[in-house]
């Protein structure tokens, strides 16, 4: 009994070291004990999920939010999140009784045992999307593989696979890929059809899903594409627009939302133990844009922070190419905080739908169920 007690005590000590110094040379060699049902959260994607990775790369302020008034409502300082406060994945972490998941590129070592955030504002599934200014999805995958290799070294191969199998992998990508043909000089849609373009985006996403699966990942969470043509940012792309959504852009989002569930269902049949949750973000935001008062907002079409019509020019903070901007008094009254991103309150509402939404909102599981599932 005394020996058993000593073993438990040793495990507790080693676990404490793991939480704080997982990537430290002090832990070279040796096996570590993990909580039996600990489910971590790994996050991939774009500015909807970027908690500050772009603070640490060579980019422009167009792809950063590390200046006020970003972060003012909750954190009281800019963290690099494209909102006035917390993002969707921050609330998901809270519901899963996890701490806020740290950006992978944050200097120093952190509690990777709880997961890591690889998302990058402006990123796409296509390497060419904002290439050189963001961390594309393929590179985010390479960061995850580095971490998976580290877990293998510290935990042993079998234990690392079990640990990664318990984790949930939250992914949101594609929006920037679909916006680039309309807000840049891209001619891609002149040479291929919209369907072919969407297939390219989802094809790259599928490759990443399969690679995560190879490392041990089994439980994946997604948010369907938002009505991209209805963002304040996209409405100003069309000169003389009187407030209508840009249907050419929204059409790509609809094609994406039609194709992704089919791919996930196919993966579920092909990959043993693969489970997924996909929430209907398109309907959720269409509702809030068109009927804001129903969801506790006063404004669904104009951004809280920005300039120009609908405050649709991405000038929030005054350090981008357009310096002047307007700022509303109460961001929680707005669906959009800036020209292309959601307010903290909107993020929280979507997180709740993803976490505990019923089958008409999320399928095949909601995230709460996914976290509780034992890997197969």
List the catalytic residues. Answer: 47, 338, 341
The strand pairing partners of 276, in sequence order, are 220
What is the C-alpha to C-alpha distance for residues 279 and 261, in angstroms, rounded to an integer? 10
Number of Cβ within 10 Å of residue 75's Cβ equals 16
Helical (H) or strand (E) element with 156? none
Contact 268, 260 (CB under 8 A): no
Contact 338, 319 (CB under 8 A): no
Structure tokens at 84: 């006035």
What is the C-alpha to C-alpha distance for residues 216 and 227, in angstroms, rounded to an integer? 33
Contacting residues for 345 by C-beta, under 8 A, at least 6 apart = 296, 297, 331, 332
DSSP-derived secondary structure letter, 75: T
What is the C-alpha to C-alpha distance for residues 63 and 81, in angstroms, rounded to an integer? 11
Name the residue with tokens 């954190």. 75
What is the C-alpha to C-alpha distance for residues 200 and 194, in angstroms, rounded to an integer? 10
What is the C-alpha to C-alpha distance for residues 338 and 325, in angstroms, rounded to an integer? 10
Name the residue with tokens 């992998």. 169
Using alpha carbons, select from 333, 101, 77 the residue that is nearest to residue 65.
Answer: 77
Contact 168, 41 (CB under 8 A): yes
Structure tokens at 236: 């100003």
Angle among Cα 42, 154, 370 to the nearest 5 degrees reads 30
Using alpha carbons, select from 250, 326, 251, 255 the residue that is nearest to residue 289.
Answer: 250
Structure tokens at 168: 């949930």
Contact 70, 340 (CB under 8 A): no
């Amino acid at each position: 009994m005394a020996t058993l007690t000593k073993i438990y005590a040793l495990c507790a000590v080693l676990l404490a070291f793991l939480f704080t110094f997982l990537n430290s040379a002090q832990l070279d060699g040796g096996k570590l004990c993990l909580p039996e049902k600990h489910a971590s959260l790994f996050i991939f994607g774009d500015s909807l999920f970027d908690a500050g990775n772009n603070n640490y790369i060579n980019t422009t302020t167009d792809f950063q939010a590390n200046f006020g008034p970003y972060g003012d409502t909750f954190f009281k300082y800019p963290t690099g999140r494209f909102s006035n406060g917390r993002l969707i994945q921050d609330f998901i972490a809270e519901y899963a009784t996890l701490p806020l998941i740290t950006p992978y590129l944050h200097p120093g070592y952190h509690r990777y045992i709880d997961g890591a955030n690889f998302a990058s504002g402006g990123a796409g599934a296509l390497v060419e999307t904002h290439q050189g200014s963001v961390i594309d999805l393929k590179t985010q995958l390479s960061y995850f593989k580095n971490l998976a290799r580290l877990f293998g070294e510290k935990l042993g191969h079998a234990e690392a696979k079990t640990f990664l199998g318990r984790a949930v992998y939250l992914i949101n990508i594609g929006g920037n890929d679909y916006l680039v043909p309309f807000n840049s000089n891209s001619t891609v849609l002149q040479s291929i059809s919209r369907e072919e373009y969407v297939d390219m985006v989802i094809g790259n996403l599928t490759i990443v899903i399969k690679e995560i699966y190879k490392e041990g990942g089994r439980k994946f969470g997604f948010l369907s594409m938002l009505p991209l043509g209805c963002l304040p940012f996209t409405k100003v792309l069309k000169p003389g627009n009187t407030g209508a959504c840009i249907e050419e852009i929204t059409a790509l989002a609809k094609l994406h939302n039609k194709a992704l569930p089919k791919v996930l269902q196919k993966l579920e049949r092909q990959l043993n133990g693969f489970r997924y949750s996909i929430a209907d973000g398109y309907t959720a935001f269409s509702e809030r844009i068109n009927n804001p008062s129903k969801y506790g907002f006063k404004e669904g079409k104009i951004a809280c922070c920005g300039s120009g019509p609908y405050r649709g020019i991405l000038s929030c903070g005054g350090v981008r190419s357009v310096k002047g901007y307007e700022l509303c008094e109460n961001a929680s009254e707005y669906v959009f905080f800036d020209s292309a991103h959601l307010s903290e309150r909107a993020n929280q509402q979507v997180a709740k739908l993803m976490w505990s939404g019923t089958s008409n909102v999320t399928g095949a599981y909601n995230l709460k169920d996914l976290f509780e599932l034992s890997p197969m």
